[in-house]
Amino acid sequence: EDKYISDDMVKKTMEHPCYNCAGHKYARIHLPVAPSCNVQCNYCVRKFDCPNESRPGVTSSILTPEEALERYKTVKAKLPNLTVVGIAGPGDSLAENYPQVKRTIELIREYDRDVTFCLSTNGLMLPFYANELADLGVTHITVTMSAVDPKISGKIYKYVSYMGGIYEGDAAGAIMISNQMSGLRMLLAAGVICKVNIVTLKGINEHHIPEVVQTCKDMGVYITNIMQMVPVKGSAFENLPMVSNLEIGKLRTECGTIMKQMLHCRQCRADAIGTLDNDISVDLAGFAPEEKG
């Protein structure tokens, strides 16, 4: 059934570069304020940005909330089409550095009433923060959920650090799925527009992805983003073969019959600035000296 969505939320979603292909005119700024993480994904090397929303192998330097506000002011003055402030790590936005994430949002909100706040997370801590994030005015949230079966999810995480315990295998998978799903449901109940990123892992979840997408559709998620995993040297999955562009294309076409698919993800860095086609973080102020690709 169709839920009521306010005109303001429709406008924010239409002007969000990641939520629809028509958003290519609009720019986003990622503010790298959250370096720590509470899980270890098998495709991640922590000295780099969180690959759930990032190009692998890049390192963003961390800002304090005050520095993040200053960067926002500088960029906003130069980019009139800037509509979205995104927080995408470089670790997890809801891990140890959540207080800095919250402060950053508060500071920018004080300065700019209109900007759209977007956040991405692995979902582990989402049930604890979902309502607070909605109250803070975060209208768009991405959860990376690459499986909805604990046995499959459990193969994706080396470990999950949760409420004082360290979990592996099926237990880790079960905790992740249950928190990702209940977190998403809480966000959806609070009127947040949700996106799910699905990382395609050959031999692990590629045949399971339509089921993940169907689950998202049934919950009321707005869009799913089926991504390629790019192997990073030093990660547990460094030798896992990549799924080809053709295979990703086929999966997206198949899943497009279930619900709306994102086809234009750029796997941006945690300090990306600009439209998705044109990252200008370097030109603007040399914010991202290690930019590549």
Q: Report the nearest approach of ligand CLF to the CB of residue 111 (Å).
A: 18
Give the span between the Cα atoms of 101 and 230, in whole angstroms.
27
Residues 149-188, one symbol each (x = binds ligand CLF by CB under 6 A, - = not), give ----------------------------------------
Q: Report the nearest approach of ligand SF4 to the CB of residue 256 (Å).
A: 26
Give the span between the Cα atoms of 49 and 55, in whole angstroms.
8
Two structure tokens written together for 226: 């089926």
User: Which parts of 52-111 interact with ligand CLF (CB under 6 A)?
Assistant: 53, 84, 86, 88
User: Which parts of 260-289 interact with ligand CLF (CB under 6 A)?
Assistant: 265-268, 276
Please choose which of ligand CLF, ligand SF4, none residue 40 contacts, taking the beta carbon within 5 to 8 angstroms, the exact cut-off set by kind.
ligand SF4
User: Which parts of 58-97 interact with ligand SF4 (CB under 6 A)?
Assistant: 89, 91-92
Cα–Cα distances (Å) from 259 to 111, 210, 213, in that order, read 36, 10, 7
Q: Report the nearest approach of ligand CLF to the CB of residue 275 (Å).
A: 10
Residues 165-194, one symbol each (x = binds ligand SF4 by CB under 6 A, - = not), give ------------------------------
Q: At what angle do helices 209-219 and 245-256 cross, to 10 degrees?
A: 40
Please choose which of ligand CLF, ligand SF4, none residue 18 contacts, taking the beta carbon within 5 to 8 angstroms, the exact cut-off set by kind.
ligand CLF
Please choose which of ligand SF4, ligand CLF, none residue 225 contacts, taking the beta carbon within 5 to 8 angstroms, the exact cut-off set by kind.
ligand CLF
| Surface-to-core class of residue 22, CB atoms within 10 Å of its CB (0-12 exposed, 13-18 middle, 19+ buried) | exposed
Nearest Cα to Cα of residue 229 among 202, 195, 203:
202
| Surface-to-core class of residue 292, CB atoms within 10 Å of its CB (0-12 exposed, 13-18 middle, 19+ buried) | exposed
Q: Report the nearest approach of ligand CLF to the CB of residue 192 (Å).
A: 12
Q: Report the nearest approach of ligand CLF to the CB of residue 210 (Å).
A: 20
CA angle 105, 109, 111 (to 5 degrees): 125
- The reply to whether 40 sits near ligand SF4 by the rule CB under 6 A is yes
Give the 3-state secondary structure percentages of the chain, helix then strand then coil, rounded to 5.
35, 20, 45
Q: Report CA Rg, the chain.
A: 18
User: Which parts of 43-62 interact with ligand SF4 (CB under 6 A)?
Assistant: 44, 46, 50-52
Which lies closer to ligand CLF via its Cβ, residue 120 or residue 173?
A: 120
Give the span between the Cα atoms of 249 and 110, in whole angstroms.
42
Q: Which residues bind ligand SF4 (CB under 6 A)?
A: 37, 39-41, 44, 46, 50-52, 89, 91-92, 122
